[in-house]
Structure 1
C-alpha cells in the first residue's frame, strides 16, 4: 500500500484527504506522524506556489510522496484579501475567530460581498515528479455566522445555490462543491492516470 504524507496538521483537511483517497490503495498520513521536521516558510505569492513549495520541501526531507494544500479565501471588495494570508489574516496562524472578526470588520460598509474559496494541491514524489490541481468555489460573505460543520471562514461563506453557509452543508454536499473537494477530485483522477 502506497503512503502519501499530508503536509498539514489541520484535522478538517486531513479528513477530506483521507476520504478522497479511501477507495484507492493509498494511506494518507499526517507529516507529524512520520517525522519531526520544521515547517517551511510559505513565501509564495500564489496558492499554487505555496502548495508546491510545501510538498517539495517535505518530500525531500522525508523521502516519501507528499501532498500539500494551500487554500484560502479571496474577497472581491478587498481586492483579493485575505488570499494567501487567509490562515493568518489577523496575525496569528490558525486563529479562526480572530480571522473572521477581521474579515467582517474589513467588509463593513461594502455592498459587494462576493468571495471565492481557492484550493491549490501539489503532490510531489521523491524523484521530483509532481501532480497539481486547482479549483475554486464561489459564494458571498455574510455578517452573521451560521452552522457548525467545517472550519475557518465556513460559517460566514454563504453558498447561494443551496441557500446555506458552507458550515451548514453536510459533508457529501460540501465535498461535491467545495474548492478542496473539486481540486481533490481532479488530483485523484490524475493519480489514477
Structure 2
C-alpha cells in the first residue's frame, strides 16, 4: 500500500488524522520530507488553502498528499477571523498571543 503524506509538521494534527482514518493507512508527514516547501496559506477559504498546500507538496514530493486548513469562524464577528485565525493577533502570532 502506498503511504499517504499529510502536508503538516503538526504532530497533533497527524494524530488526529490517524484516529479519523482508523489506522488502516500508512501516514507520513512533512517531517519525513524536510526539503518540502513551506506553502503560503494565502487563499480566501480553508478549502482553497488546503487544495493549494496539497497540490504544491504533492508536486514537490511525488506522494499522494492530503492537506487541511482550519480556523475559527465566529458568527458575531461575521465569520472572522476565518482563514486568518493563525495570524489574528498580527504577523508572527503565536497560539498564546491569539488567545490573549
TM-score (norm 2): 0.89
Work out the CA distance in 2 between the residues paired with 1:51 and 1:67. 8
The alignment partner of 2:39 has SS state of: coil
Q: Which runs of 4+ in 1 moved over 3 A?
A: none
Which structure: greater strand fraction? 1
2:42 match: 43
Written as runs of structure 1 = structure 2, the 5 A alignment for 1:153-168 is none
The alignment partner of 1:37 has SS state of: coil
Work out the CA distance in 2 between the residues paired with 1:33 and 1:23. 18
Aligned positions, number = 99
Shift of 1:32: 2.2
Q: Is the 8 A contact 1:21 1:27 kept in 2?
A: no
Q: Is the 8 A contact 1:71 1:84 kept in 2?
A: yes
1:28 match: 27
Work out the CA distance in 2 between the residues paired with 1:50 and 1:3. 22
Q: Is the 8 A contact 1:35 1:62 kept in 2?
A: no
Gaps of 5+ in 1: 102-193
Question: Mean alpha-carbon deviation: is it higher for 27-36 or for 64-73?
Answer: 27-36
The alignment partner of 1:85 has SS state of: helix
Work out the CA distance in 2 between the residues paired with 1:100 and 1:53. 27
Work out the CA distance in 1 between the residues paired with 2:3 and 2:70. 23
Q: Which one has more relative contact order, counting CA pairs under 8 Å at least 6 apart?
A: 2
Work out the CA distance in 2 between the residues paired with 1:42 and 1:23. 28
1:12 match: 12
